[in-house]
Amino acid sequence: MIEVMRTLLLVGLATLISTMTLADVYKYVDADGHAYFTDTPLQGNRYRLEWHRESQTLASKSQQTLFSRTLKQALAIVPSNATETSTRTVTPDISVQRRRAIYHGLVVLNARRYQLSPGLIHAVIRAESAYNPSAVSAAGAQGLMQLMPGTAARYGVSDSFNPVENVRAGAAYLRDLLDLFDQDLKLALAGYNAGEGAVIRYGRTIPPYSETQGYVSKVLEYYRAEQPVSIAMTPR
């Protein structure tokens, strides 16, 4: 638990350093020791102000580079030039649940920001990269939520291997897809995998691609498994 908490704090610091828009940051630690960060506290006095925007200063470029390098070294599971197959390989001494815990605070923050279920973001990350921030697919998708270069550019991401930027953009993309397809989760997931254009071309149905159909089923399976975990780990 101590190791997980240290890593969560590391991700929290990464959020502060990497975020370009200064904002107040609030922190909440539940009875199990899980830390949650948000810029919009929704839980009354359960959240405490951790950093005030007026007292924040952006770290120098060299400090950000050093921190980014340290973060990647601490969280990397396989080399950044790994193939799509190898990025799905689970390192024996790092379980999925431990990797999940590392990013839970970041997931909750973006779930609140984009009005998504934390379990849904977790399910997509698990299906896309198994929580490997250095994952690269054969098609060129990168990072935790496997952003294609075009999608990354569309959402203002400068470094897809930065978990803070990657999860923010991936969550924003999911939110936009859900809105585009009238909150139809299956179509939103199909769009995330094959692109919204493909879903529209096939009459707003899941495209007849075996990869996309399998992807939608996999994410929904992970999402169903995530829901009890998210309920337990997300403060009321």
Q: What is the mean pLDDT of residues 15-27?
A: 47
Which is more confidently placed, 94 or 184? 184
3-state percent helix, strand, coil for the chain, nearest multiple of 5: 60, 5, 35
Q: Where residue 227 falls among pLDDT bands split at 50, 70, 90?
A: confident
Residue 60 has pLDDT above 70, yes or no: no
Which is more confidently placed, 47 or 188? 188
Tell me the pLDDT tens digit for each residue of 27-40.
556 665 555 555 55
Distance CA 67, CA 159 (A): 14
| Cβ pair 114, 178 in contact under 8 A | no
Tell me the pLDDT tens digit for each residue of 104-151.
999 999 999 999 999 999 999 999 999 999 999 999 999 999 999 999
Distances (CA, A) of 90 to 66, 79, 96, 110, 158: 27, 13, 8, 25, 27
Q: What is the mean pLDDT of the chain?
A: 74
pTM above 0.85, yes or no: no
pLDDT at residue number 86: 34
Sheet containing 25-29: give its strands across: 35-38, 25-29, 48-51
Catalytic residues: 128
Q: Where residue 236 falls among pLDDT bands split at 50, 70, 90?
A: very low
pLDDT at residue number 171: 98
pLDDT at residue number 95: 82
Cβ atoms within 10 Å of 111's Cβ, excluding its own = 23
| Cβ pair 82, 136 in contact under 8 A | yes
